[in-house]
Each structure stands twice: as structure tokens, then as C-alpha cells.
Amino acid sequence: MLIVHHLNQSRSQRVLWALEELQMPYQIIRYQREPNMLAPPALKKVHPLGKSPVLEDNGHIIAESGAILEYLQERYDRDNHFRPQEEVEKLQYRFWLHYAEGSLMPLLLMKLVFSSLGKPPVPFGLRSLGKVLGQGVQKAYLDKQIATHAGYIESQLAGRPWFAGENLSMADIQMSFPLFALLSRGGIKTLPNIAAWKKRVETRPAWQRAIEQGGPFDIPGE
């Protein structure tokens, strides 16, 4: 039996979605975030990094969303429903599978951090300075970078419904977390192709079953 170590409001939602698309039976072990929004220490008993998701299968402990999705596709997607076979589409598939965490998510995490510098748990006496610093970094660098990436993604979805072509793939599942995060922080009206992609995701029965299993998936804005 596959076991998913699932943290609420986290990247592990992608693993549940993938398993539902593959129609694989699985067990969920649930963890709740601490008040500071970090993962609980109990996850370190599963994997030394103490992060989610973690997948257990046949004695293997697998961490990192991209690695888990690739593992599931290679092992259980025997007819390659979720990995394209045409050369151009395979290149797109590989790019988006790695781009999600390698390029887009670091920018969104930095924006979240810098937008929080004027709020608790930053000490009260430093919040004013932190707010000014955070706004300055966002205006001078992060917002421009995120706009560039959002524009690029928007253009790539202009001619196709899914990231690697006409069919949903593991690349879409990997891109779901950063794109839901991007849209939660504004700009949805200026990103119609991304917004349409999100609607296609949300209407899939497997996505809906994953939400039922994993709980609400509402990434907070700034």
C-alpha cells in the first residue's frame, strides 16, 4: 500500500492528485502545520528534512514532489497517459516538471517572506523597518521577476490546454502548487490563460477527489 505523509495546505496535495489520476489505492498519514506555519517535528521521523510530501512504497522513502511524481509515472503509469511521447512535448514536459520548483516557486517564497517583514513574528520595534525593506525589495526586484515569469507562462498556455500539449501530464500536476500560489496573490484578471488552466484543473474528478482526501486547498495571499 502506498503511504502519503500529507501536510495540510502543502505541496503534498500534488501527490494526492497524481494518485487519484492514476487510480491508485493509498493511505494518508496526516500532519498539521504548527502555529508558525512550519511542518511539525513528527515529519522528521519519516524523513530527516522534516518536509512534506513524503511517499512510502515497497520500503522506499521518497521525498520531493518532482521526484515523487516521476517515480509514480515511471512505476505505475504503464501506458504513459501522464507523460507525452512526442519529442517536442517531452521537452516541454521535462522543462515544466523542473521549472515549477527550480525557478517559479523560489520567487513566490521570497515574495511571501518579504511581504511578511512588517508583521509578527518580527519584533514590534523592527516591523516598520522590515515593512519598508520588504516593500523595497518587492518593488525593485521580486515583482518584476514574477511578472516576467507570469507573462511567460501565460504565453505558453495560449496555444494549448495543458503544459505539455493536448493532454494533462505530471508537468501540470507539478505546476499546480506554484500557479495556485501565484493566482492567490493577485493578477488573475490579467492572466486569462492561466486562469482557464486552473478551471480545467478544478473540474477534473481526480482533483476533486484529492481535495476531499487532503482537505481544503486555499493558499493564502500576502
- Mean pLDDT in residue range 193-203: 95
Sheet holding 2-7, edge to edge: 26-31, 2-7, 54-57, 60-63
Which candidate, 7, 14, 59, 3, places its Cα nearest to that of 31? Answer: 7
23 near 49, Cβ under 8 Å? no
Q: What is the pTM of this model?
A: 0.90
Provide the pLDDT for residue 34. 79
Residue 78 predicted with pLDDT over 80: yes
Check whether the bond before 121 is cis (ω within 30° of 0).
yes
- Mean pLDDT in residue range 40-51: 87
52 near 41, Cβ under 8 Å? no
Residue 89 predicted with pLDDT over 90: yes
Residue 132 predicted with pLDDT over 70: no
